[in-house]
Amino acid sequence: MTTTKLLIKRSIKSFASLTKSKTVFPKTEPGSVNIIAYHRVVADIAKAEKDAIYGLVVSSATFRRHCELLRKSFDVVSLETARFFLDGERKVSRPLAVITFDDGYLDFYEEAFPILNEYGLPATVFLPTEFIGGDKFLAHDRIYWLVKLAIEKSVPVYKALIQAGLSKNIAAKLAVETDVLKLTDSLVYLPKDLRERVIFQIEVSLGDKFESYPPEYRLLSWETIREMSKKGISFGGHTANHVVLPLEAQASMETEIHESKKTLEAQLGKSVVSFAYPNGEYNLRAKQMLAEAGYKIAVTTETKINRTGSDLLLLGRISLCEESTRGFKGSYSHSVASLRLGI
């Protein structure tokens, strides 16, 4: 798919729409497997919702309430265990829930892991291997920060986008966008190399108006991952560079899928069978490559509840953040949370 077509398609599934209330919520039934998707769990939600894509953050207090609700209403199992129910090997008596986290942020260890431990709940974390154990931040976080700075400080981005290699037509359309999330979303959905050039050029354009990326964007270290791997947390693939798979050339897709799996298995000392498509984007080729690489189970960001017979390499998830379980008063709502979880 061309970049232009993809940019247009993006309006359907953007960060902005990820958490917006939908009128129809899937309902949990006996035999259903609800897979929940989180990104970051934070101590200071007001700061995080300002400094990061708000759809990626939930407060520790709200996460704790979600855990309580999940434990009460479901059998919470690991993704690997859920696989045996989804392929019909084992029968379920109660609805199952699986807790997943994308991207491997450091705050998973600091905020989420102690709560999961306290409740005795398993979880799976999907890791973009190139960013683990280093000091690099993920492209979506860097782009959000740069776009926010550019819009707040009235720094035009047209020239940066042209110099990065975008067409005049697309650059002109994007340069007039004043919504931080919408522009972030469009710039994240680019092939990896082009996306890196966009980041570099916007940093250059900001000049002395550039402000350092928030340290809260940090990801986990391998040491910490190995520690958690012995204590109920499993880890899955998420490519090496957090690429939008359908936008990458065949060779890049292969490296991203195969090499990252090898890295994960070498670092963990165990086989890795689960995968999350970065940004939920997949195509038939990506799915086939996962199967060839030995992945047994893969999750998207499509809002659906899974059941026996669901395609194990295209499972749906329910994405949750702070905003998704707020009531009309602006604070956590038990009834909204129950609705979101299909209870």
- Residue ranges binding Zn ion (CB under 5 A): 102-103, 278
State the nearest-atom distance from the C-beta of 102 to Zn ion, in Å: 4
If we measure between CA atoms, which residue out of 189, 213, 167, 158 comes closest to residue 278? 189
Give me the residue whose beta carbon is nearest to Zn ion: 102
> Is 102 or 130 the residue whose CB approaches Zn ion more closely?
102
Instruction: Please give the helix or strand (H or E) that residue 233 lies within, else none.
Output: strand 233-237
> Is 19 or 32 the residue whose CB approaches Zn ion more closely?
19
Classified as helix, coil or strand, 33 is strand
CB contact set of 288 (below 8 Å; sequence gap of 6+): none
State the nearest-atom distance from the C-beta of 239 to Zn ion, in Å: 9
> Is 53 or 198 the residue whose CB approaches Zn ion more closely?
53
State the nearest-atom distance from the C-beta of 132 to Zn ion, in Å: 12
State the nearest-atom distance from the C-beta of 278 to Zn ion, in Å: 5
Cβ–Cβ contacts within 10 Å for residue 12, how many? 7
If we measure between CA atoms, which residue out of 306, 255, 249, 302 comes closest to residue 277? 302
> What type of residue is 326?
R
> Is 92 or 130 the residue whose CB approaches Zn ion more closely?
130
> Is 55 or 342 the residue whose CB approaches Zn ion more closely?
55
Residue 266: Cβ-neighbour burial (10 angstroms; 0-12, 13-18, 19+):
exposed
Look up residue 87 and give its two tokens: 């392929």
State the nearest-atom distance from the C-beta of 99 to Zn ion, in Å: 16
